[in-house]
């Protein structure tokens, strides 16, 4: 008798906690510990399957990164650690941790495409979406989601993959990697005029990838209502037009209102609603999420739980106190949706 697929799969590994950063650095092992503590108190902890990934080898990393960059990370770790830039640190265990994080993203893709579960989330670190082909930056060493997307189109032969990046910071590395490729559609909603300074509305791809980059830069102060409106006006119609064989979520949670590195006003419930809207829009399409940012431990953990609830339908029971937030005026989201539709409408029927 065939085994019923799990409602969802969580993927993580202890190696991901061994990537160390200096004291008071926001990207720290406590992020994963906080998530696990909250999930362990919810029905999600027992209902979801668990998998541990293998570490990706250098040939896999080289699908999107230069050999020189891979060697620099490896050698920096082997020499006792150091920094790639003022924000991005490598500790002695970071090379192995980063390869394990990539392995987690790959396993999430393999699991959902093998129908082991309709959704999977890789709770891994270091994060990845800022990592460029030849350089790490923004806390990121290797680009987990980009390698997973390349794996999906090359190993699984998918005709089209969509990456949805809702981190508060623009995923410049992911955009750069796929800017001239037609099989991967990259859609990012992020805070404008914020780190790393990329992600303008007019950045839409080039050559065979023209139209496959969709940027939705947002002013600070957009919250649950504005994001939900943009989902209905831009994200969901784009998913329908792209008709991907896989949706990959670069799941950063630093757009949460408590986060110290962003200026957005999303709540955990808001993240859950966005996840549910995606799941409802593509009920038969595999969805794999990979952890990116999110640096307030309480906001991060509750938002991950709410996102998993939205993706799987399993109630988390997590209740977030009312923060009395005052979102940016609704007209802000309306104006930005109109601007995006003017640009993106040249490539996709929204």
**Gap between the Cα atoms of 141 and 159, Å rounded:** 28
pTM: 0.97
**Gap between the Cα atoms of 134 and 167, Å rounded:** 22
The question of whether 151 is a catalytic residue gets the answer no
Note down pLDDT in tens along the chain; length 350 residues: 456 778 999 999 999 999 999 999 999 999 999 999 999 999 999 999 999 999 999 999 999 999 999 999 999 999 999 999 999 999 999 999 999 999 999 999 999 999 999 999 999 999 999 999 999 999 999 999 999 999 999 999 999 999 999 999 999 999 999 999 999 999 999 999 999 999 999 999 999 999 999 999 999 999 999 999 999 999 999 999 999 999 999 999 999 999 999 999 999 999 999 999 999 999 999 999 999 999 999 999 999 999 999 999 999 998 888 888 999 999 999 999 999 999 999 999 98
**Contact assessment for residue 316 and residue 43, using Cβ atoms and an 8 Å cutoff:** yes
pLDDT of residue 195: 98
pLDDT of residue 321: 87
pLDDT of residue 285: 98
Catalytic residue among 19, 69, 129, 130, which? 130
**Contact assessment for residue 256 and residue 148, using Cβ atoms and an 8 Å cutoff:** no
pLDDT of residue 3: 63
Structural domains for the chain: 9-344 (3.40.800.20)
DSSP string of 99-137?
HHHHHHHHHHHHHHHTTS-SEEEE--SS--TT-BTTB-B
**Contact assessment for residue 104 and residue 124, using Cβ atoms and an 8 Å cutoff:** yes
pLDDT of residue 322: 84
């Amino acid at each position: 008798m065939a085994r019923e697929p799990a409602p969802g799969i969580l993927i993580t590994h202890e190696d991901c906690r061994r990537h160390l950063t200096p004291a008071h650095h926001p990207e720290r092992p406590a992020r994963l510990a906080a998530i696990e503590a909250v999930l362990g108190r919810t029905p999600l902890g027992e209902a979801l399957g668990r998998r541990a990934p293998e570490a990706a080898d250098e040939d896999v990393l080289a699908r999107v990164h230069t050999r020189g960059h891979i060697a620099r990370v490896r050698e920096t770790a082997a020499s006792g650690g150091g920094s790639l830039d003022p924000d991005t640190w490598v500790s002695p265990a970071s090379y192995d941790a980063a390869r394990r994080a990539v392995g987690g993203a790959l396993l999430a893709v393999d699991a959902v495409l093998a129908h082991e579960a309709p959704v999977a989330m890789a709770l891994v670190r270091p994060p990845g979406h800022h990592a460029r082909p030849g350089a790490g930056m923004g806390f990121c060493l290797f680009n987990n989601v980009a390698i997973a997307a390349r794996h999906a189109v090359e190993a699984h032969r998918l005709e089209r993959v969509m990456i949805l990046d809702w981190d508060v910071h623009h995923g410049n590395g992911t955009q750069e990697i796929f800017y001239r490729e037609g099989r991967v559609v990259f859609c990012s909603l992020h805070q404008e005029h914020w780190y790393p300074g990329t992600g303008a509305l007019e950045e839409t791809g080039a050559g065979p990838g023209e139209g496959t980059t969709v940027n939705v830069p947002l002013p600070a102060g957009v919250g649950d209502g504005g994001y939900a409106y943009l989902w209905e006006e831009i994200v969901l119609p784009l998913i329908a037009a792209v008709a991907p064989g896989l949706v990959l979520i670069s799941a950063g949670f630093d757009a949460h209102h408590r986060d110290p590195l962003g200026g957005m006003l999303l709540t955990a419930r808001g993240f859950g609603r966005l996840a549910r809207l995606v799941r409802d829009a593509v009920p038969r399409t595999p969805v794999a999420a990979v952890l990116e940012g999110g640096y307030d431990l309480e906001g991060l953990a509750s938002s991950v739980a709410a996102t998993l609830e939205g993706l799987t339908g399993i109630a988390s029971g997590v209740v977030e106190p009312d923060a009395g937030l005052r979102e940016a005026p609704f007209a802000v989201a309306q104006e930005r949706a109109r601007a995006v539709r003017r640009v993106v409408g040249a490539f996709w029927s929204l």
